[in-house]
Amino acid sequence: MSSRCALVSKILPFSCVDGPGSRLALFLQGCNLRCRNCHNPWTIGRCNDCGECVAHCPHGALSLQAGRVVWQESRCQQCDTCLQLCPQQVTPMAKNINVETVINHIAAAEPFIEGITVSGGEATTQLPFVETLFQRVKQTPALCHLTCLIDSNGELSLSGWEKLHPVCDGVMVDLKAWNDDRHRWLTGRDNARIKASIRWLAQHQRLSELRLLVIPEYSDYLSSIEPLSAFIATLGDVPVRLNAFHTHGVSGEAKNWRSARPDDIQALADALQARGITRLIHPALYL
């Protein structure tokens, strides 16, 4: 039995967009990047218990107890009023959940899923929890056939990936820009560690998918197509998913950015294919 806990934003018992097949998706709260285009901006930070949201909850699902904001799930109608009003743009609905509770969720969904995906926020910011959770899945006879995947921004150190290697079946990594300057502008950090993570995961057969997010006028993939293609070619037979930016869920200046269209995706796909990168996954839909 493990009492190790994580701050969890959401548990989806069934998802078909968080990795291959039907999966349970676990979204952890907190991220070490600050992406201007984040589609889940309320998962980036952590509630500071300022209490600004409490009086405005139309369903009385929030209260201030001993200086802490407390969320009562049974009353919540998921209206997102608290998310819209939070000065820090953080959800007060994240909960500390231990490994055993998550294992129970997985066991209930097991007949209907092929695996679990831990996402975020950024899953690896709560590395000990993820490592312990995956160990428990692998050690539980009724669950050990499930694949354990991580959806990551790649900011974890190589020593962190080494810890996960024995229990993690694969990692889906976003390379949000090729050049350091562009990546720093989009996310707040350079991408040196992310590129190193991608290389390491590929070398150790743990890179399930490389993801490129096409943002019209802001992505630098096409302008950096030669070094980008050369880099991808070194990774081996890894699928490259081309994601289309859309404004659903984003905040701030990115709400005014143009969503990617099929022709934006096709331009990048054609450029990659012309340089030998052919294992491409196109968006299933455009918003």
What are the tens digits of pLDDT across the range 98-152?
Answer: 999 999 999 999 999 999 999 999 999 999 999 999 999 999 999 999 999 999 9
What are the tens digits of pLDDT across the range 237-247?
Answer: 999 999 999 99
Question: What whole-number distance in Å separates Cα of residue 157 and Cα of residue 250?
Answer: 28
Question: What whole-number distance in Å separates Cα of residue 2 and Cα of residue 132?
Answer: 8
Given a cut of 90, whether residue 285 has pLDDT beyond it is no
Given a cut of 60, whether residue 204 has pLDDT beyond it is yes
3-state secondary structure of 34: coil
Q: pLDDT band at residue 1, thresholds of 50, 70 and 90?
A: low
Question: What's the pTM?
Answer: 0.94
Q: pLDDT band at residue 2, thresholds of 50, 70 and 90?
A: low
Is 24 within 8 Å of 101 (Cβ atoms)? Answer: no
Q: Tell me how far apart the terminal alpha carbons of the chain are, to the nearest angstrom.
A: 43
From its phi and psi, is residue 109 left (phi > 0), alpha (psi between -120 and 50) or beta?
alpha
Average pLDDT, the chain: 96
Q: pLDDT band at residue 275, thresholds of 50, 70 and 90?
A: very high
3-state secondary structure of 78: coil
